[in-house]
Amino acid sequence: MLGLTDFIQNLVAGVSVGLTYGLMGLGVVFLWQSINRINFANISSAMLSVYLFFLFHTWLGLSMLLSAVLAIVLVAVYGLGLRYLLYEPITKRGGARLEFVVATLMLTVFWLTLIIAMFGGMPRRFPPLFGDATQFVRFFGVGVRAIYFYMIVVVAVLMTLLHVILRKTLMGKMLRATAQSKETAQLMGINVNLTANLAFVMSTTVVGVAGLLLGPIYFVSPVLGGGAIGIKGFAAAVMGGLVDPYGAILGGVVLGALENFSTLFISSAYRDVISFAVIAVVLVWKPTGIFNWTSKKE
């Protein structure tokens, strides 16, 4: 039988991992809202940030914090690169969504093969950015793995920050206005070039952060850039109808919890199948998302 403590521990584990899926979902939401595209290359942003962090810390000997910051900054710049080296040239040549999908998918394959060619397929130790991964923090008598604690804290801070940016600053409001109607935003004098850049940068950055958070669990390994984890980000985003950032986070949490309990009760072998089934079922049953409070009109 499952005791209360076990239940809580599993719940916390599921929810915290789910939060990182939610972050990846945010990456999907930001881009979908601003340019109506899904960027499959963003699947690899999580892997890129982890390997960059590893590279800076282990190879160049920089401090962990500095390495993490540098990795995130580079991933943010990578977002800009995606816009100017991929999105713009394709759009300029009259390429539609499909061309963008194929190009970004191929870019994911590119990064994956590059990482495997350079570092090999075997996982490497993730530098203890969040302290000892095996340590426990005690809350009301329940031991929670420190890493989960960090995940919750980091995502909470990040979400608060995003909330403030989107709701309280002029830049955030401009971003939301552009998402609702690019044309009208232009008529208001909003520089839509700038808001698009911001969307690209934000979308890769959140996924980069998610990568660092997942590092202690998946180690420095190409698994982070493989299909499965990225797809969970999509599943989270789909639950928010691809337009609701809060919906994406909640979607990720539900997905994470679902996964964790299915590992517990069914089998870990079918864990991933659940996320994939969620995507299919939600999209077929309610394509506008089940956690969608943003009333995007068709």
Partner 1 sequence: MKLLSIENISATYGGIHALRAVNLHVDSGEVVSVLGPNGAGKSTLLRVISGLVKPEPGGVVSFHGRSLIGVEPYKIARQGIAHVPEGRQIFPDLSVDENLEVAGVRIDAGKRKTKTAEVYELFTELATRKKQIAGSLSGGEQQMLAIGRALVSDCELIMIDEPSMGLAPVIVMRIFTTLRDIMESKGLTLLIVEQNARLSLQLSDRVYVLSQGEITLDGPVDLIKEDEEMRELYFATEK
Partner 2 sequence: MRKRLKLVMILVFLGAVLYYPLMEENEYRLFVMNRGLIHAILASGLVFLTGFAGQISLGQAGFYAIGAYTSAILSTSYGVPIPLSIIVGVIFSVVAGLVVSVPSFNLKAFFLSLVTIAFGLIVHRLIVNLQPLTGGTNGFFGIPPMRWAGSMFTSNMHYYLFLGILAATVVSMYHIKRSYLGRAMFAINDDETAAESCGISARKAKVFAFAFSGALAGLAGALYAHFAGFLTPEPFVFFESSRFVGMAVVGGLRHLWGGVIGGIGLTLLPETLRLPYAGWENYYLLLASTITILFVVFLPRGLGDLASKALDRLWKVEGATKTLKDATVVDDSEAGADDASLT
The residues of the shown chain that bind partner 1, judged by CB under 8 A, are 170, 173-174, 176-177, 180-181, 183-192, 294-297
Nearer CB in complex with partner 2: 16/42: 42
Phi-psi region of 202 (alpha: psi -120 to 50; beta: other; left: phi over 0): alpha
Work out whether 98 is an interface residue with partner 2 (CB under 8 A): yes
Evaluated on CA atoms 252, 147, 211, 125, the torsion sign reads negative
Report in angstroms how near the CB of residue 213 gets to partner 1 at its nearest. Answer: 29
Judged by CB under 8 A, the chain residues 132 through 151 that form the site for partner 2 are none
Report in angstroms how near the CB of residue 114 gets to partner 2 at its nearest. Answer: 6
Nearer CB in complex with partner 1: 24/179: 179
Nearer CB in complex with partner 1: 41/196: 196
Q: Are 250 and 291 in contact (CB under 8 A)?
A: yes
* Token representation of residue 158: 């990040």
**3-class DSSP state of 145:** strand
Query: Which of partner 2, partner 1, none does 277 bind, CB closer than 5 to 8 A by kind?
Result: partner 2
- Could you give the CA distance from residue 2 to residue 103 in angstroms, rounded to a whole number? 47
* Token representation of residue 119: 């570092």
Q: Using the rule CB under 8 A, which residue among 113, 160, 181, 184 binds partner 2?
A: 113
Query: Which of partner 2, partner 1, none does 188 bind, CB closer than 5 to 8 A by kind?
Result: partner 1
Q: Which residues partner with 145 through β-bridges?
A: 136
DSSP per-residue string spanning 151-179: HHHHHHHHHHHHHHHHHHSHHHHHHHHHH
For residue 7, what are the contacts with CB-CB under 8 A and spacing of at least 6? none
Q: Which residues partner with 220 through β-bridges?
A: 124
For 83-94, b where at least 16 C-beta lie within 10 A, e where not — what string?
beebbeebeeee
For 169, phi and psi rounded to 5 degrees? -95, 155
Nearer CB in complex with partner 1: 184/267: 184
Stretch that binds partner 2, among 72-80, 146-154, 179-187, 281-289 (CB under 8 A): 281-289
- Could you give the CA distance from residue 260 to residue 251 in angstroms, rounded to a whole number? 14
Query: Which of partner 1, partner 2, none does 131 bind, CB closer than 5 to 8 A by kind?
Result: none
Work out whether 105 is an interface residue with partner 2 (CB under 8 A): yes
Work out whether 276 is an interface residue with partner 2 (CB under 8 A): yes
Q: Are 40 and 248 in contact (CB under 8 A)?
A: no
Report in angstroms how near the CB of residue 293 gets to partner 2 at its nearest. Answer: 19
Nearer CB in complex with partner 2: 143/272: 272
Question: Which residue ranges make up the site for partner 2 (CB under 8 A)?
Answer: 38, 40, 86, 89-90, 93-95, 97-99, 101-103, 105-110, 112-114, 116-117, 226-228, 231, 234, 238, 269-270, 272-273, 276-277, 279-280, 283-284, 287
